[in-house]
Chain A
């Protein structure tokens, strides 16, 4: 993991002091609400429905056991003993007191964490592939570049008052596990024919009110030029992005209005000026950053662990878990384990402070003291010996984090919704729970197979409903909570946006609606066809007919 040096420590300490003084001045009436709002947002602090909400960055999803223990402590001391992992590799606390926030930030700084730019109209937390560095399909380990971008974006003086928020995601694998196509900027670390590392750059993707898939504006950018290029993109957006209407202020609208070709021309023109300048990144800096992400001291293994193979055959429950929650590792004898934060009855992405402490202990015992947070709101141990999986499974079961449902219908991506969020039109957590209860039969769940079901409580799409194979959006109709359903969305390198099937439903209808969609799939699927494939083959009509025919 990246480690702060004296510079990084000083910046974060200065930020804490700055925000402490800003909070003091706000509470003393020296700063108005309007003047304080952007300042607190750029420190992750929202004023929510019942209390402030503090969003803490987990840069590109990497977390040490020490850091997780600190988060557990913060949950216990300043909140109600739990936290919520978000869809952008952050953690949120829903009940801190405004006047405690400077102290929380100071505590975070002691473990090299912060809440800088986790909200507001600025460059947000850089997100990435939660399997970075261990996936077999990886072309370039993106972590050193993520850290480069973290430093570049942190306190960037020119881009703190953009037209709207700005999200960057990075991946370096054939499979896009970072949703890069639906980010303001997607960065793909790639290699050219000569084997040199560079970046494919996409702009203008995004979810929210007007979902769009990003456009490639450069197929291969030499890696040393990336900060010059990012500066050029942000500068075009900062100057020309719309500021008259917040719903049209994201970069995707600018790119669409200008056309991607013209937008790219503006960027390339400014880059031409910057190319080779002081922000060009020397190889030595890439090497310095890469040194923080050297592989841990793996034990040599010649291949798969025989005991692990035998346990899968002997123990059906363990086998189910191994099939769904264990991912192959590029190093023989090791495995990647996803801890499911999607147990029925628990809000997706929530963990208690006690659970966090136990996970930290398990990370120390099983995975070199480190873990990851995924945008699907689960936790990941990236470096577990196959021979230890059975023991780890036992520990995770006791903790409630071994639900064998990764990638399945009940592994629901879900925003906090109307239970917590003041932006929400409708609750989302109870909908997730009702659907999970409907599909509690594991055999049936496995038969349905891979399916992303995503729920957002409003247009802002924190639950990524547009890219759910089944997407659920909470809407307000005359003060009542209704749910609009779309199908056919998908994330990853073939990302697509779902299509709305028709008029919205009441909360109590939602499990039936999902059941009917699944019925059509089960009846119509070809062998080995996933739900999304069937929807893409048949279109939405047969699904729509079934859902609305039986609704009356």
Chain B
């Protein structure tokens, strides 16, 4: 069984990604399947009778189209055809922060170690790292930074609020002398 990174650990992947499924007949029975958004929208009810279904989005798919489904879907995947196409970062934040999606949010496609930290901050908790790369190495990418300045999906309270709280608690962050 293929493996991926999920919730900061390497785990076996029980889902099957169906990139080209165009009708419910393309979805095998009893398999946890990730189907394209278009198929989901066309045949939601038929798909549900087949078993567990997740949905994957292209970079230009509007997450708004899943607004009514986020409570019911166990998994949403966002595709990165090239790692330099950053649209999926916004898709993830909208799914988490606007639509309140709480299930598995998975990055698929050209998913590489050096982008994992930012992906995680934007709300992804699962990373189907490109199959030619070492997962143990990629896992280190999640530890590139210990914190960030901004409000993000993973850390909704921005640093300036936490910094102020630290000062109020008597834990003033030190300012060292310039060398």
Contacts and interface: CB of A to CB of B under 8 A. Distances in A.
Interface of A: 3-7, 9-11, 14-15, 18, 22, 31, 35, 38-39, 64, 66, 110-112, 121, 151-152, 154-162, 227, 235, 238-239, 243, 273, 277-279, 281-282, 284-285, 288
B159 A7 contact: yes
A278 B157 contact: yes
B149 A285 contact: no
A160 B118 contact: yes
Contacts of A278: 151, 156-158, 161
Nearest to A64: B178
A155 B122 contact: no
Contacts of B90: 158, 235, 238-239
A279 B161 CA distance: 9
A18 B144 contact: yes
Contact of A238 (B87, B147, B159, B163): B87
Contact of B84 (A6, A38, A66, A110): A38
B114 A279 contact: no
B114 A39 contact: yes
27 contacts: A3-B175, A6-B173, A7-B163, A11-B149, A14-B146, A18-B144, A38-B83, A111-B178, A151-B149, A151-B159, A154-B149, A155-B118, A155-B149, A157-B148, A161-B84, A161-B85, A161-B86, A161-B89, A235-B90, A239-B90, A278-B161, A279-B150, A282-B160, A284-B164, A285-B161, A288-B160, A288-B164
Contacts of B84: 38, 121, 161
B164 to A, nearest CB: 6
Contacts of A14: 144-146
A160 B89 CA distance: 9
B174 to A, nearest CB: 5
Given A9-B176, A157-B122, A273-B98, A152 B150 contact: yes
Given A38-B84, A238-B89, 16 more contacts: A3-B178, A4-B176, A5-B174, A6-B176, A14-B145, A18-B144, A35-B114, A110-B179, A111-B178, A112-B178, A155-B145, A157-B150, A158-B86, A235-B90, A238-B87, A279-B150
Contacts of A31: 114
Contacts of B160: 151, 281-282, 285, 288
Among A35, A66, A110, the most chain B Cβ lie within 10 Å of the Cβ of A35
Contacts of A4: 175-176
Given A6-B174, A14-B144, A284-B164, A158 B89 contact: yes
B106 interface: no
Contact of A161 (B83, B121, B146, B149): B83
B66 interface: no
Given A111-B179, A159-B86, A161-B85, A152 B149 contact: yes
B112 interface: yes
For chain B, give the interface size range.
35 or more
Interface in B14-32: none
Contacts of A281: 160
Interface in B131-163: 144-152, 156-161, 163
B152 to A, nearest CB: 6
Nearest to A15: B145
B151 A277 contact: yes
A-B complex: 5 closest residue pairs judged by Cβ atoms: A161-B86, A157-B118, A157-B121, A5-B173, A279-B151
A31 B137 CA distance: 12
A243 B85 contact: yes
A257 to B, nearest CB: 15
Contacts of A157: 89, 117-119, 121-122, 148, 150, 152
A249 to B, nearest CB: 12
Nearest to A158: B89
Nearest to A237: B90
A285 B166 CA distance: 13
Contacts of B83: 35, 38, 161
Contact of B114 (A10, A22, A158, A288): A22
A35 B85 contact: no
B134 to A, nearest CB: 9
Interface string B70-89: 00000000000001111101
Contacts of A121: 84, 86
A160 B86 contact: yes
Among B84, B85, B122, B176, the most chain A Cβ lie within 10 Å of the Cβ of B84
A41 to B, nearest CB: 11
Interface in B96-110: 98
A7 B174 CA distance: 9
A4 B177 CA distance: 9
Nearest to A284: B164
A155 B151 contact: no
A121 to B, nearest CB: 7
Among B90, B98, B119, B121, the most chain A Cβ lie within 10 Å of the Cβ of B90
B145 A11 contact: yes
A110 B160 CA distance: 23
Contacts of A11: 145, 147-149
A431 B139 CA distance: 52
Contacts of B158: 227, 278-279
A282 B112 CA distance: 37
Nearest to A277: B151
Contacts of B164: 282, 284-285, 288
A239 B149 contact: no
Contacts of B98: 273
B57 to A, nearest CB: 12
A231 B127 CA distance: 25
A66 B84 CA distance: 37
A269 B89 CA distance: 19
A38 B147 CA distance: 22
Among B87, B122, B146, the most chain A Cβ lie within 10 Å of the Cβ of B87
Nearest to B177: A3
A244 to B, nearest CB: 11
B148 A66 contact: no
Among B86, B91, B146, B175, the most chain A Cβ lie within 10 Å of the Cβ of B86
Contacts of B87: 238-239, 243
Nearest to A239: B90
A36 B163 CA distance: 33
A277 B151 CA distance: 9
B175 A5 contact: yes
A11 B150 CA distance: 12
Contact of A66 (B86, B144, B176, B179): B179
